[in-house]
Amino acid sequence: MTDTTSSWAFDTGPLRHFAVNGWLGVLKLIAEKNAARVVIPESVEEELLDQRHSIPALSQIFDAEWISVDRSTDLDVLAAFAQYEEAFVSGRKNLGECGVLALGRGLGHTVIIDDETPRRRGIADGIEVRVSLQLLCEGIREKLLTVALVESLADDLLSGDYYLPFTRGGFRQWALEEGALEWDEL
């Protein structure tokens, strides 16, 4: 296994919604602070390419020098992808999740995935799985981001039909209730 402890494999959803809402730079800032290399599997690249003609903002993902496509031919990755594909794929839906989980399992990448079912499967399979809200809260704790900025970002994501576990204006309360942030960080 290759040492890739500082590689983050992003699923389609977080990248798409952050890009569409103009917040992709926040992910770059957090990744750079953590010295994490950001990768997407070919399956995520394909999902984004399929949507790029109707969502021009996705072009910025392909133009970002800090995001690379992992075209792994590692047998562990390919075998893991096949197992996840059998579990999750319906038509062409969920291929991105299969790709990021396969990179996590086969190469040890940290997986950034917000969808609950594949996230739970990844955790059960021993993969380090993180969600975008976790990254944002870490950004606040590290003083890279402010609560006000993340509140605006979360509200923008929610207005773009992204699922978060709270409604518009609810980030601060959610963060406190979940223990994601402490009072002194607000």
User: What are the chain's domains?
Assistant: 7-132 (3.40.50.1010)
Handedness of CA 156, 161, 163, 165 (dihedral sign): positive
Whole-number percent of the chain with pLDDT over 70? 97
Q: Report the interhelical angle of 95-107 vs 42-52 (nearest 10°).
A: 150
* pLDDT tens digits, one per residue of 14-56: 999 999 999 999 999 999 999 999 999 999 999 999 999 999 9
Give the confidence band of 117 by pLDDT, cuts at 50, 70, 90. very high
Residue 4 has pLDDT above 70, yes or no: no
pLDDT band at 5 (very low <50, low <70, confident <90, very high): very low
Total number of residues shown for the chain:
186
Beta strand pairing call for 37-41 and 110-112: unpaired
Over residues 58-81, the pLDDT tens digits come to: 999 999 999 999 999 999 999 999
Whether 186 has a pLDDT exceeding 90, the answer reads no
Structure confidence at residue 90 (pLDDT): 80
For residue 120, is pLDDT > 90? Answer: yes
Whether residue 80 contacts residue 102, with contact meaning beta carbons closer than 8 Å, is answered with yes
C-alpha gyration radius of the chain: 16
Mean pLDDT of 174-186: 88
- Tokens representing residue 79 in the block: 């075998």
What value does the mean pLDDT take over residues 143-167? 94
Structure-token match 């223990």, residue found: 179
Work out the mean pLDDT of the chain and round it to a whole number: 93
Burial status of residue 155 (CB atoms within 10 A of its CB: 0-12, 13-18, 19 or more): middle
CB 89 within 8 A of CB 117: no
Dist. CA 124–CA 185, nearest whole Å = 31
Q: How many CA atoms lie within 13 A of 45 on its CB side?
A: 13
Is it the case that residue 137 has pLDDT exceeding 80?
A: yes
The answer, yes or no, to whether residue 168 has pLDDT greater than 70, is yes
Q: What is the 3-state secondary structure (H, E, C) of 47-79?
A: HHHHHHCCCHHHHHHHHCCCEEEECCCCHHHHH
Q: What percent of the chain has pLDDT over 90?
A: 89
Any idea what DSSP says for residue 110?
Answer: E
